[in-house]
């Protein structure tokens, strides 16, 4: 794919048609950021903040904080990032080569229970990690999602949400940010209430909200549950979340805003190539375009998706240029997983296009040698970077940077792994 000078064609935004993204200075500036090939410039003499990222994946949450920190003339130190997917951990390290990346399960490092004394493992962590400005976490959400049946609501992964509160007790960050699907609030184990109460008992002020990510500039119809906990003199979490911005008041960002500059040209890498549909799905894609429709009639859907209450109408659908995308998931390469057919091309969206819709900038290295399934997992599971960018912009000016001793100590590599990510995750990361 190639870029048409970073510009997109005019779009009519049906959600809020007052102004189009292409006539908006903020939208143009954000598109320039999204399409740039180099990360933001960081000066060595800027004050330093420390970020720990649990369930880090390919780094969506940290990428957003990196952007916000650069805006505030701050540098980031990442003493600890944890994920048990080797490909995701390797990708994180590729983009943050000085990070202390641990390819391990979070519960193998944060292995104590709420209210219990610190374990031997947990007692070592603060000495290795050092002071923490912001702890971010996006625990697995599959057990909570509407895309899963009710039996999955008891998924043991749901308890990982509360593990973040334990991490806060161990590491004592100034700020805690936890992102998940809105349905997490209805978890049978009441993990959100348990987590909030544990954080309040540890001295944090906590606020919970369900946020429409269009508000922070994400070109998706995507709502997410956000827990924000703050300590010290940081403004109240309610004030931060209620005043969150990053989008534009009179319009939303569209599919065309995010990917309209990308064109199909040959040759292309696999990252810029759509998955190959089955013959049946090829016919369905052709029908969408031949009849200029965005949803298939019931009879044109597979029998398993006809007249079923659990079926989402968007499945087997085609995106609109002038509207936000639906939520990007790991199934973006299959029309049977959602509305993922390109607005003007007879194919599903590519990994590159899905990354753009997730507000992952082009400078992020997702590994051209990665398998399509790995891209789907990393991109679909990522937290849109614009969410933590908006939170970071509101929070970072109020955070105290590390002092000179902490910065000098961090520069010696304390809290960093060797930079090696093992092919098979060990029971307890590397170097702890």
Handedness of CA 107, 136, 92, 158 (dihedral sign): positive
**Residue 195: which residues within 8 A CB-CB, separation 6 or more?**
161, 162, 164, 165, 178, 227
Identify whether the C-beta of residue 291 lies closer than 8 Å to the C-beta of residue 44.
no
Note if the bond before 159 is cis, omega within 30 degrees: no
Q: Are 6 and 37 in contact (CB under 8 A)?
A: no
Active site positions, annotated: 141
3-class DSSP state of 173: coil
Tokens of 352: 């590159």
C-alpha distances in angstroms, 373 versus 42, 93, 332, 378? 33, 19, 11, 9
Reduced DSSP (H G I as helix, E B as strand, rest coil) percent helix, strand, coil of the chain, to 5: 40, 15, 50
DSSP bridge partners of 225: 180, 210
Contact indicator for 321, 256 with CB cutoff of 8 Å: yes
């Amino acid at each position: 794919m190639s870029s048409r000078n970073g510009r997109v064609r005019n779009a009519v935004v049906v959600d809020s048609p007052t102004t189009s993204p292409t006539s908006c200075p903020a939208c143009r500036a954000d598109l320039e950021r999204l399409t740039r090939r180099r990360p933001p410039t960081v000066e060595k003499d800027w004050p330093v903040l420390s970020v720990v990222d649990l369930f880090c994946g390919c780094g969506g949450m940290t990428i957003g904080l990196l952007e916000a920190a650069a805006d505030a003339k701050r540098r980031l130190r990442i003493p600890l990032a944890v994920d048990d997917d080797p490909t995701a951990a390797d990708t994180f390290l590729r983009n943050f080569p000085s990070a202390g990346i641990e390819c391990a399960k979070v519960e193998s490092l944060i292995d104590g229970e709420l209210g219990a004394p610190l374990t031997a493992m947990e007692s070592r962590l603060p000495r290795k990690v050092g002071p923490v400005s912001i702890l971010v976490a996006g625990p697995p959400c599959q057990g909570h999602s509407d895309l899963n049946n009710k039996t999955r609501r008891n998924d043991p992964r749901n308890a990982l949400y509360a593990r973040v509160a334990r991490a806060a007790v161990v590491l004592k960050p100034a700020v805690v940010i936890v992102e998940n699907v809105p349905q997490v609030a209805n978890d049978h184990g009441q993990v959100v209430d348990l987590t909030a109460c544990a954080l309040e008992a540890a001295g944090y002020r906590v606020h919970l909200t369900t946020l429409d990510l269009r508000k922070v500039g994400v070109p998706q119809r995507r709502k997410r549950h956000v827990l924000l906990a703050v300590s010290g003199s940081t403004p109240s979490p309610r004030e931060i979340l209620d005043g969150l911005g990053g989008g534009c008041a009179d319009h939303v960002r569209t599919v065309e805003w995010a990917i309209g500059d990308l064109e199909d040209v040959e040759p292309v890498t696999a990252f810029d190539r759509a998955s190959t549909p089955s013959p049946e799905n090829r016919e369905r894609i052709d029908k969408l375009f031949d009849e200029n429709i965005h949803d298939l009639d019931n009879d044109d859907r597979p029998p398993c998706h006809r007249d079923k209450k659990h079926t989402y109408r968007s499945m087997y659908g085609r995106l609109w240029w002038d509207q936000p995308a639906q939520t990007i998931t790991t199934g973006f390469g299959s029309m049977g997983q959602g509305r993922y057919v390109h607005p003007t091309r007879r194919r599903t969206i590519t990994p590159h296009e899905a990354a753009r819709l997730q507000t992952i900038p082009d400078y992020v290295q997702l590994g051209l040698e990665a398998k399509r399934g790995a891209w789907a997992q990393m991109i679909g599971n990522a937290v849109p970077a614009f969410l933590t960018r908006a939170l970071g912009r509101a929070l970072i000016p109020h955070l105290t940077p590390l002092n000179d001793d902490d910065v000098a100590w961090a520069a010696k590599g304390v809290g960093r792994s060797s930079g090696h990510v093992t092919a098979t995750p060990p029971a307890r990361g590397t170097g702890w």
